Structure 1
């Protein structure tokens, strides 16, 4: 997980705290790291259980004739193939999400130890090997529009997202922030992850927690830097940095909006924000 320099600098500045609060922040961050390691452990154990046998085979290929048995075998092969594809997809999602979480843990540990964040290399894939090919599907850019609902979503996934979004739209920011955070834990590697983090950032902004909102916007952009949510997340990250007083980094981040997404509606808004911050 190799972040561009502006993203690394932005997150480092967003996470910066006054000296008197450093110790409390370190303790909170270490608690977060322990929690995420526990989540990763649970996911790995869940995969191990799914790959363990559940008893004697239940396949039945009996028939009155050879043709009947051949038909039964073909039907069973189709069933097993579909089941294997579903399990493979779930494993890929856990690998992608686990790798992203490990990269985030590495970042925070280096920061806590006072190391050089710019020297972080590419994160080793969870379980070894290469990351699964293909990314999450593109997500709608306009808030309130329907989010892509495909067969890749788990049961209840879309409903949970919609419930959190409804809370956000109604102005129940605390409830929305909690629901989006719970969604991230319940559906690791979700195709909706970028939209979830973006909307969680909006909820945190509504609560006045600009620093945590900026972290959520960065997570949204880093999770899907080419999706339809990306220009919004990048703009909101830059605007949040400006509100935090990190003007130089805000200017760099806002300039990236037009550079990366010249045709996006957020480009004009980003330029207006740069003018307000008196960027060069």
Structure 2
């Protein structure tokens, strides 16, 4: 790769100048400058990669803390999900409801990655799940959304679907269940357009559960997300104020 870049630089230098011939020393100087620039760009890329890994590790640690806190609020043992080592165990589901994802599951997608485009079949399946949610209630809607996520694991509507389920649960005062659903949306679908909405719902549910520290941290994260619409950030700021975070 480096040799190719240097060769192209040399050819460019030779072609530059029918009317402005350069001495071998000048050509070597230009090649040295190109090589120095290549080293700088390589170092910059390595630094960006390091920062990306650091951010992902910090995000995973924060989501793990939230998972533990929600389990504690439910009266469960937060260490149970990790007793088998690195592989999390599934939590025991409530009757009539699907089992929420336990532990950390898959790490968040790399920052800057994009989900695929939304096809007509995915859109139709999403709308069908939302009709179940609106017409049959959050439990039936949650099952339909679970089926939707299984059918389209790499889609772009998972976070939005989970955010709507969480909102329906929160509207019934089921804030612990809502927090788990919102957390799943943030954790497993954090690169999707609906992730900021799920994060706002998570912050609100944590505030309703009395987990003030975690709620305020989530509100701050929402405020700093570049992909969060201004209107959603404004809503989050008002909710943070009411929760005593500002």
Give the TM bin, normalised by the shorter chain. 0.5 to 0.7
CA distance in 2, matches of 1:274, 1:245: 13
Deviations 1:2-26 (A, max 9, x none): 451443322221222465x549x87
Q: Could you tell me how far apart the structure 1 residues matched to 2:153 and 2:191 are?
A: 20
Partner of 1:208 in structure 2? 173
C-alpha distance in 2, partners of 1:9/1:205?
Answer: 21
Q: Which has the higher contact order (CA 8 A, sep 6+)?
A: 1
Q: 1:136 aligns with which of 94, 115, 131?
A: 115
Structure 2: how far apart are the matches of 1:188 and 1:263? 25
1:15 equivalent among 71, 76, 85: 71
Aligned to 2:238: 272
Q: CA deviation at 1:230?
A: 2.1
CA distance in 1, matches of 2:175, 2:123: 27
Give distance in 1, aligned partners of 2:69 and 2:170: 17
Q: Alpha-carbon deviations, 1:10-69, whole Å to 9, x = none?
A: 2221222465x549x87xx84559xxxxxxxxxxxxxxxxxxxxxxxxxxxxxxxxxxxx
Query: How far does the alpha carbon of each residue in 1:242-268 deviate from its partner, in whole angstroms, 9 at most, with x for none?
Result: 011101111111111111247521111
Kindly indicate whether residue 208 of structure 2 is the aligned counterpart of residue 243 of structure 1.
yes
2:185 maps to 220
Stretches of structure 1 that go unaligned for 5 or more consecutive residues are 34-103, 109-121, 124-130, 138-147
Larger radius of gyration: 2
Match of 2:130 in 1: 165
Question: SS of the residue aligned with 1:265?
Answer: helix
- In structure 2, runs of 5+ residues without a counterpart are 1-55, 82-87, 93-100
Instruction: Report the 3-state secondary structure (helix = DSSP H, G, I; strand = E; otherwise coil) of the residue aligned with 2:230.
Output: coil
Q: State the match for 1:234 in structure 2.
A: 199
Provide TM-score, normalisation by structure 1.
Answer: 0.50
Q: What is the RMSD computed on CA atoms of the aligned residues?
A: 3.6
C-alpha change, 1:235 and 1:214, in structure 2 (3 Å) is same
> Compared with structure 1, are the counterparts of its residues 170 and 258 closer, same or farther at alpha carbon in structure 2 (3 Å cutoff)?
same
d(CA) in 1 for partners of 2:230, 2:158:
21
Partner residue in 2 for 1:259 = 224
Aligned length: 173
CA distance in 2, matches of 1:175, 1:105: 20
* 8 Å Cα contact 2:200-2:236 kept in structure 1: yes
4+ runs deviating over 6 angstroms: none
Residue 16 of structure 1: SS of its match in structure 2?
helix
Q: How does 1:34-53 map to 2 (within 5 A)?
A: none
